[in-house]
Every structure is written in structure tokens, then in C-alpha cells.
Amino acid sequence: MDILIRPETENDYFENETVTREAFWNLYVPGCNEHYLVYVLRKHADYLTEFSFVAEYQNKIIGNIFYARSHVINEHNQRKDTLTFGPVSVLPEFQRKGVGSAMIGHTVEIAKQKNYPAIIIYGSPSNYCKHGFKSCKDYQISTKDGRYPYSMLVLELQKDVFQNHSWKYYDSPVYDIQDAEVEEYDKRFPPKAKEYRYTQEEFAIAIRASL
């Protein structure tokens, strides 16, 4: 499939939020909040506009990826600025054709060029280990409260950059989304039924699991 990966422009904003809504709808919870996350992320201090890309096929956006600032702090209070991506979305009918991999690969190369030490995300290992992500526990990077969540994954971009220390991960507060705000914002889109899917159960298990 011949796709073009290019930076997001202002003209893409609503179309991109629609793509994200379609990709996530009913997948992890009934409905979704990721399209609202894209909307608020662009206005947030932690937003990294130079990492926003869309995948185009026949002049139509079929996927997108967004990044935010994050950081880790070690036991000596030394800090490293890291990257976090999410949401990453591909329209359901174009999934499993390499589009997500292409967007991740493209932005990982930019992250390396800009000398970021790592990308740290919350996501399903089945989506990201194939891109080189490993468990946060392999790098002694925990949450603020010392847990190693199953879904907290690290792509090391500078070899051994976390070695011989233990770290705590701080993601951007932009990811703390309020349901009431999502409800209001979602009225901008055509109505869509919120329904149960078994994938919501898998997600509920995964987010409670720690190593």
C-alpha cells in the first residue's frame, strides 16, 4: 500500500480527531476519549508539534500519531527528558497493513536524530514489542508509587542510558482526561453508539496488572 507520511497541518485537525475517534471507539471502554486527548494535547505545554504526523492514502488521512514531553528522575534526583507517544491511530479498515508501524518508525528516527534517550508509553506489549519496546522493569523505571505496570513500555534510543540507576516516570498531566469534558466535546461528531466489546475486558485486566 502506497502511503504518504507527512506532518499534521491545521487543516487536518478535525479530520484527525475523527480518525482517532473511529480507531478507538468502543475498543478499550464504551465510546472513547482519545479524540478529545488529541484536541487538548495540541494546546498543552507538553505538546511536541514537530512529532505530529499523518498517514495519507489516496489523499485521505487514514492514520496519525502524536507525542508529548515526559521525563524520568533517578535516585540522585537527576532528570532525563523523554518522549511519550499517544494516541496513535489507524482507521479500522486500514489496520494491519503496516501503517502504524510506518508512523512509529518514522517518528522514532526523528527522536534519535534529536538525541532523545527513550520513548516511554503505556500500551499493549502485543502492539509495541515488535518495535523494540521492552518492559519498564527491564530498565528499573517505575511509576511515582514504585510499580512496574504491565503496559508501561520503554524504547531505549541511547544504549544503556538508564543503566545502574533506578528511575521514576512522569508523564504529562494532559493524559488525565475528564469524562464530562469528553461528553461535551463528542457532541461535535455524528452520534455513535457506545457498546460493550470483549476488548474492554482485556484492557481492564491489562491496566491493573504490574510486574
Ligand X SMILES: CC(C)(COP(=O)(O)OP(=O)(O)OC[C@H]1O[C@@H](n2cnc3c(N)ncnc32)[C@H](O)[C@@H]1OP(=O)(O)O)[C@@H](O)C(=O)NCCC(=O)NCCS
Contact set with ligand X (CB under 6 A): 23-24, 27, 88-90, 95-101, 123-124, 127, 130
If the CB atoms of residues 73 and 110 are measured against ligand X, the closer one turns out to be 110
**Nearest distance from residue 7's CB to ligand X, in Å?**
18
If the CB atoms of residues 27 and 73 are measured against ligand X, the closer one turns out to be 27
CA distance 130 to 4: 22
Tell me the residue type at 76: H
**Nearest distance from residue 210's CB to ligand X, in Å?**
17
If the CB atoms of residues 127 and 140 are measured against ligand X, the closer one turns out to be 127
**Nearest distance from residue 93's CB to ligand X, in Å?**
10
If the CB atoms of residues 27 and 40 are measured against ligand X, the closer one turns out to be 27
> Which residue sits closest to ligand X, CB atoms considered?
100
CA distance 41 to 20: 13
If the CB atoms of residues 80 and 189 are measured against ligand X, the closer one turns out to be 189
**Nearest distance from residue 49's CB to ligand X, in Å?**
20
CA distance 60 to 45: 29
**Nearest distance from residue 179's CB to ligand X, in Å?**
19
